[in-house]
Structure formats: structure tokens, C-alpha cells
Amino acid sequence: MIAAIGLLLVFLVSALFLIQGKRRSNGSQDKKQSSNEPKDSKPKSYSKSEVAEHNKRDDCWIIIKDKVYDVTSYVEEHLGGAPF
């Protein structure tokens, strides 16, 4: 009789953990689906004249293959033009 009650108790506790695990995984899937949706489907575009305004050591942008890159953090590391 004690063994039967013990088995029943183990079964109920196991079922409880399985149910909670499914609830957590379903909730995380809902969050993942909503986070995969694009926030802004259209990327920001800049004209060449806008990019040309960012031509200083502390504000430097470049265009490579029609894409704009902010390289300000790299300017000080680049050896081009720096005295030896």
C-alpha cells in the first residue's frame, strides 16, 4: 500500500513538472516569434552628400558597395597617414 502511494506521488510530481515545462516552452516560442518580426522593414538610406558631411576624425563615415559604414572608432587605429 505504501509503495502504491509512493508511485502515485512520483507520478503526480512528474506530471506537474512536465506540464510546467510545456507552459514555459510555449511561452518562449511566442516570444521568439514576435522578436523575429522585423521592426523596420525599410533600411535607413543616406545620400552621398549626407555621408560626405561626416569627414572628420571624430565623425567618419564611408560608402562601400552602396552601403554606409561608420568607421569613427577605427580611424585612430588605421595606419594610413599617421606619423611613424
The stretch 38-65 carries a mean pLDDT of 86
Residue 36 has a pLDDT of 58
Q: Which is it for the CA torsion 40, 45, 50, 52, positive or negative?
A: positive
Question: What is the three-class DSSP state of 68?
Answer: strand
**Cross-strand pairs, 60:** 55
pLDDT digits (tens, 9 = 90+) for 2-45: 877 877 777 777 777 777 766 666 655 555 555 555 566 677 88
- The domains of the chain are located at 1-32, 45-84
Q: What class has domain 45-84?
A: alpha beta
Question: What is the three-class DSSP state of 9?
Answer: helix
Enclosing H/E stretch for 51: helix 48-52
Question: pTM, whole model, 2 decimals?
Answer: 0.46
Q: Is the pLDDT score of 61 beyond 70?
A: yes
For 59, half-sphere exposure in the C-beta direction (CA atoms, 13 angstrom radius) is: 6
